[in-house]
A and B are shown apart, each in its own frame.
Chain A
Amino acid sequence: MPAPDCRLGIDVGGTNTDAVIIDAADRVIAKAKVPCTPDITGGIMAAIDTVLKAPGVEPRRITHVMLGTTHATNAVLERRKLRRVAVVRLGGPATHSIRPMFEWPKDLAAAVSVGAEIVDGGIEFDGRDLSPLDTDALARFLGRVGGSAQGVVITSVFAPVSARQEFQAAEIVKRELGDVHISLSHEVGSLGLLERENATILNGALAGVAYDVADAMRHALAAHHLQPAMFFAQNDGTLMGLDHVLRYPVLTIGSGPANSVRGAAFLTNTADSLVVDVGGTSTDVGVLVNGFPRESSRGVEIGGVRTNFRMPDLVTIALGGGTEVSRNHSGVQIGPHSVGYLLQRDALVFGGKVPTLTDGAVATGRASLGDPRLASSHRALLTEAVAQADVMLSDAIDRMKTAKGDRALIAVGGGSILVPDRIPGVSEVIRPEHFDAANAIGAAIASVSGQVDRIFHLGPGGRQAALDEACEEARERAVAAGADPRTVDIVEREEIPLAYLTNPAIRVRAKAAGALGGLPEHQLEANLSRQARLAGPAEQAAESP
């Protein structure tokens, strides 16, 4: 098992694709930024090519590659390359009062589903069967829709308490349909049947997209005779292996902002801070807590579908380096339009005709780019726009603060030249080296995690026994996902008591994370040969008693 040496981190954003190479001592030895291409793969290939040709890079020393992308989100929004899946809910006779995908946008439901069925089955909150699984009904449904399904999505009531019926149903799917992509809800989401089911359906629909991205990466690397272990960044800023991403691609859907926050932490060696990431079109403000992004307490909507993903808690505003400014009847209009990746052509200081916030940063002396004289005729407008942008920014930052008192702010992203040095409520603005590649760096340095979110019934050992069990399970999952067991720590633990029950039960969320372990080479080969069509889950989640 080779120890990790150089790592290649890639982040595919809305405007640019970034790549960085980090050596074993965590030093950034090369970075590249190229415009995105409509088909994502072109940008990835160009970024890899560019960074591998940088001076001082020895491509053969690259042992790991990590990719973060919002590509899955875009595929859902644009209804592109989505697979059509058979949707199975194990929950009858309960749950018939809300059909699967009832609130989905009609066109998205049609693009994704070949049919949905609620069969008798499911689990109770205390681990008993809600009903025994109706295996005949499941087989009949699969017989009806199996011919047109590119995947099967299985969601059991209270799967986070016990996944046994989901596994049982997966066996039937394999028996009836053979080697087809199967998504099981307990691997995807937490409590909340509809939100978890929605997320799992999206997961099945995204399986093809994940394969395309993985394949593009593999080709780009193979062209340089490289076969590193591949990892993908997920919503919480940690990594999962190729094996996992092909099975659970939807878990990458919020990885972009998470990577920026993690990259900011790494570059400044801080664990708790505010982070602002200014891109070409928008600005995200997040919070770094214990080295990880603070997660939002509410689920998120993706393409009009409600899910219960824990995503980084962010305030996003339409403010970026390419944001256009103009005068309107009541003053200055900032955005929401952006010249995006055409900044180098359209901004005033680069000889273009569109006043942008980058011109504002130059006109107010915050940055020296292009030719400042080209912006001088618009000085009044730009100065006013920058003052207004400062107010928008400080308001967004203030919204993310949870406590009184000034806090440090880390400014990253290519557009962070816009961020002023003095902001109310901010003690200092930290501008790390390599701020413009924080997202790709965040992917490259990410740790590997495992998570548990389920209900525990308090036995003789009480709360502590339940918490210990959850933490142990989270550790095991982290190791299964590729973490080095010696480095795995619990990074998050939360208990929520359940109301209105006479016998005590608690819901526990635990997350463990550890440093990347070396992956054996043969495993990589095995991963790639299985990529397109996957069997069911390899490891079994622990069962509740």
Chain B
Amino acid sequence: MKRLLDPDSLRAQARGCAVLGAGGGGDPYLGLLQALQATEDYGPVPLVDIEELPGDSLIMPCGGIGAPTVSIEKIENGDEGGRLREHLEFVTGGQVAALMAAEIGGSNGLLPVAWAARMGLPLVDADGMGRAFPEVPQVTMHLAGISPSPAVMTDERGNLIVFRAISGHWMERLERAAAVEFGGAASSTEFSLTAAQARTATVRNSVSLAIRIGEAVAHAEGSPVAALMAEIGAFRLLTGKVSDVERHTTSGFVRGSVVVEGLGDDAGRLLRLELQNENLVALERGRVLASVPDLISVLDSETADAIVTERIAYGQRVTVIAFPCDPVWRTARGIEVAGPRAFGYEFDYLPVEERAGARA
């Protein structure tokens, strides 16, 4: 079914992208405004299922890379996506048929919509994470063995670099360094792939999931949080109040922890969230309730708005939820790339259904 990403669905999608960001990916507000302006100027973007594209069609995964603090000042020009496409086509000899969000979580879930509108291209109803992750190779295309090269990175001025790296890890190192030189943030594409590859190498239907999440909240009859949880089959870990926030930075990433003190039915309980840009682990009395790669989101208890890690503050009334990641992240390779040990934790991954589900 073809669907047009009009302003209403973009607003719903932005809410959903915030939830799927699991605390990371940056506030979707700026991505939303870019998508709204581009849609107003160039018309709405068609959302297509991968099955609708011929198998040899070239799909360009794309988004922003860099520091969220930079993105809130140095907003994109708008023509970055067009330049990425032009050079990707030049170096691959192919023709880009559709764009795809490399990362559905946060602002990056919407940025490709703005670019697609300007190019008159459709957006694929899929992404490379089903959530947000901090590093370039933490995508499903990487798990599927697709090469991150050739990658293209550009800035708002028109500077452009084509990367060919020997591994995802090297791509992360090189792109991160270049992004700093560009002024702390840039736009990029990696892991370009064909529609045939995308059928198995991406998280499918994640754009429509984001829209469904937003619509469930907008049309909730009772509690928006309950409506949201029902829509995605989430587990409620705790409802309470943020009682402690601690953040520090190590090797370029913000790490820290948040303590949520239970209220109402949860009075007397304490939940501790460990963060590294995203919410990585939820603990209660040393027991893991949920962990990466499953998604942990902190919602405003009243509005169900997802709160990104940099905006969590003392006293906020929140409901912490967790829900299953895409199954591909639960494979041995997925856990190796994005499981607890990939983030420096000394415990094994267990699905949220088994951890939190046991008490729900």
Residues of A within 8 A of B (CB): 91-99, 102-103, 122, 124-126, 128, 130-131, 157-158, 191-194, 297-298, 313, 399-404, 455, 496-504, 506-507
- Interchain nearest-CB distance for B212 vs A (Å): 24
- Interchain nearest-CB distance for A96 vs B (Å): 5
* Alpha-carbon distance between A130 and B73 when the two chains are bound, in angstroms: 11
In B164-221, the 8 Å CB interface with A consists of: 176-177, 179-180, 183-184
Asked if residues A499 and B249 are in contact (CB atoms below 8 Å), the reply is yes
List the A side residues contacting B33 at CB < 8 Å.
Answer: 98, 102-103, 194
* Alpha-carbon distance between A404 and B314 when the two chains are bound, in angstroms: 12
Within 8 Å of chain A (Cβ to Cβ): is B313? yes
In B29-74, the 8 Å CB interface with A consists of: 30, 33-34, 36-38, 66-70, 72-74
Within 8 Å of chain A (Cβ to Cβ): is B359? no
List the B side residues contacting A507 at CB < 8 Å.
Answer: 69
List the B side residues contacting A99 at CB < 8 Å.
Answer: 37
Asked if residues A126 and B314 are in contact (CB atoms below 8 Å), the reply is no
List the A side residues contacting B70 at CB < 8 Å.
Answer: 125, 498, 501
Of chain B, the residue at the smallest CB distance from A399 is B317
List the B side residues contacting A93 at CB < 8 Å.
Answer: 77, 156-158
* Alpha-carbon distance between A501 and B177 when the two chains are bound, in angstroms: 8
* Alpha-carbon distance between A160 and B156 when the two chains are bound, in angstroms: 20
| Cross-chain pairs A/B with CB under 8 angstroms, 17 sampled | A95-B77, A97-B34, A97-B38, A97-B76, A98-B34, A99-B37, A102-B37, A125-B67, A125-B183, A130-B183, A191-B69, A297-B314, A298-B311, A498-B184, A499-B310, A500-B66, A503-B180
Partner of B75, one of A97, A401, A404, A498: A97
Within 8 Å of chain A (Cβ to Cβ): is B149? no
List the A side residues contacting B313 at CB < 8 Å.
Answer: 297-298
Within 8 Å of chain A (Cβ to Cβ): is B277? yes
Of chain B, the residue at the smallest CB distance from A196 is B73
- Interchain nearest-CB distance for A90 vs B (Å): 12
Of chain A, the residue at the smallest CB distance from B248 is A497
List the A side residues contacting B314 at CB < 8 Å.
Answer: 297, 402
Given A499-B252, A500-B68, the answer on whether A313 and B184 have CB atoms closer than 8 Å is: no
- Interchain nearest-CB distance for B255 vs A (Å): 9
List the B side residues contacting A158 at CB < 8 Å.
Answer: 73-74
List the A side residues contacting B74 at CB < 8 Å.
Answer: 91, 94-95, 122, 124-125, 130, 157-158, 193
* Alpha-carbon distance between A507 and B73 when the two chains are bound, in angstroms: 13
- In the complex, how many residue pairs between chain A and chain B have their CB atoms under 8 Å apart? 137
Asked if residues B317 and A191 are in contact (CB atoms below 8 Å), the reply is no
List the B side residues contacting A496 at CB < 8 Å.
Answer: 247, 310
Residues of B within 8 A of A (CB): 30, 33-34, 36-38, 66-70, 72-78, 114, 134, 156-158, 176-177, 179-180, 183-184, 241, 243, 247-249, 252-254, 261, 277, 310-311, 313-317
- Interchain nearest-CB distance for B274 vs A (Å): 15
Residue of A92, A125, A400 most packed against chain B (CB within 10 A):
A125
List the A side residues contacting B179 at CB < 8 Å.
Answer: 500
- Interchain nearest-CB distance for B179 vs A (Å): 8
* Alpha-carbon distance between A64 and B75 when the two chains are bound, in angstroms: 44
* Alpha-carbon distance between A325 and B272 when the two chains are bound, in angstroms: 43
Asked if residues A97 and B37 are in contact (CB atoms below 8 Å), the reply is yes
Task: Please classify the interface of chain A as helix (H, G, I), strand (E, B), loop, or mixed, using the class held by over half of its residues.
Answer: loop
* Alpha-carbon distance between A311 and B310 when the two chains are bound, in angstroms: 18
Asked if residues B277 and A499 are in contact (CB atoms below 8 Å), the reply is yes
Partner of A125, one of B69, B254, B316: B69
List the B side residues contacting A497 at CB < 8 Å.
Answer: 247-249, 254
List the B side residues contacting A194 at CB < 8 Å.
Answer: 30, 33, 75
* Alpha-carbon distance between A313 and B242 when the two chains are bound, in angstroms: 15
* Alpha-carbon distance between A401 and B78 when the two chains are bound, in angstroms: 44
Asked if residues B72 and A500 are in contact (CB atoms below 8 Å), the reply is no
* Alpha-carbon distance between A193 and B74 when the two chains are bound, in angstroms: 8
* Alpha-carbon distance between A316 and B74 when the two chains are bound, in angstroms: 34
- Interchain nearest-CB distance for A330 vs B (Å): 16
Asked if residues A191 and B180 are in contact (CB atoms below 8 Å), the reply is no
* Alpha-carbon distance between A506 and B247 when the two chains are bound, in angstroms: 12
- Interchain nearest-CB distance for B109 vs A (Å): 16
* Alpha-carbon distance between A191 and B77 when the two chains are bound, in angstroms: 19
- Interchain nearest-CB distance for B258 vs A (Å): 13
8 more A-B contacts (CB under 8 A) besides A103-B33, A500-B184? A93-B158, A95-B76, A102-B37, A130-B74, A401-B241, A455-B69, A498-B254, A501-B184
List the B side residues contacting A122 at CB < 8 Å.
Answer: 74
List the A side residues contacting B252 at CB < 8 Å.
Answer: 499-502
List the A side residues contacting B78 at CB < 8 Å.
Answer: 96-97
- Interchain nearest-CB distance for B188 vs A (Å): 13
List the B side residues contacting A192 at CB < 8 Å.
Answer: 72-73
Asked if residues A499 and B317 are in contact (CB atoms below 8 Å), the reply is no
* Alpha-carbon distance between A97 and B72 when the two chains are bound, in angstroms: 13
Of chain A, the residue at the smallest CB distance from B254 is A499
- Interchain nearest-CB distance for B176 vs A (Å): 6
Given A124-B184, A399-B317, the answer on whether A94 and B253 have CB atoms closer than 8 Å is: no
* Alpha-carbon distance between A7 and B252 when the two chains are bound, in angstroms: 51
List the B side residues contacting A404 at CB < 8 Å.
Answer: 243, 261
Asked if residues A191 and B311 are in contact (CB atoms below 8 Å), the reply is no
Of chain B, the residue at the smallest CB distance from A131 is B157
* Alpha-carbon distance between A167 and B253 when the two chains are bound, in angstroms: 34
List the A side residues contacting B156 at CB < 8 Å.
Answer: 93-95
Asked if residues A402 and B243 are in contact (CB atoms below 8 Å), the reply is yes
Asked if residues A502 and B75 are in contact (CB atoms below 8 Å), the reply is no
- Interchain nearest-CB distance for A106 vs B (Å): 13
Asked if residues A504 and B249 are in contact (CB atoms below 8 Å), the reply is yes
Asked if residues A402 and B315 are in contact (CB atoms below 8 Å), the reply is yes
Of chain B, the residue at the smallest CB distance from A306 is B29
- Interchain nearest-CB distance for B290 vs A (Å): 22
- Interchain nearest-CB distance for A118 vs B (Å): 10
- Interchain nearest-CB distance for B249 vs A (Å): 3
* Alpha-carbon distance between A128 and B157 when the two chains are bound, in angstroms: 14
* Alpha-carbon distance between A503 and B251 when the two chains are bound, in angstroms: 9
Of chain B, the residue at the smallest CB distance from A295 is B313
Of chain A, the residue at the smallest CB distance from B67 is A500
* Alpha-carbon distance between A125 and B74 when the two chains are bound, in angstroms: 9
Residue of B158, B253, B313 most packed against chain A (CB within 10 A):
B313
* Alpha-carbon distance between A501 and B114 when the two chains are bound, in angstroms: 25
- Interchain nearest-CB distance for B159 vs A (Å): 11
Asked if residues A498 and B249 are in contact (CB atoms below 8 Å), the reply is yes
Given A91-B74, A93-B157, A401-B315, the answer on whether A499 and B184 have CB atoms closer than 8 Å is: no
* Alpha-carbon distance between A99 and B77 when the two chains are bound, in angstroms: 10
Given A98-B37, A500-B176, A502-B176, the answer on whether A125 and B253 have CB atoms closer than 8 Å is: no
* Alpha-carbon distance between A455 and B67 when the two chains are bound, in angstroms: 13
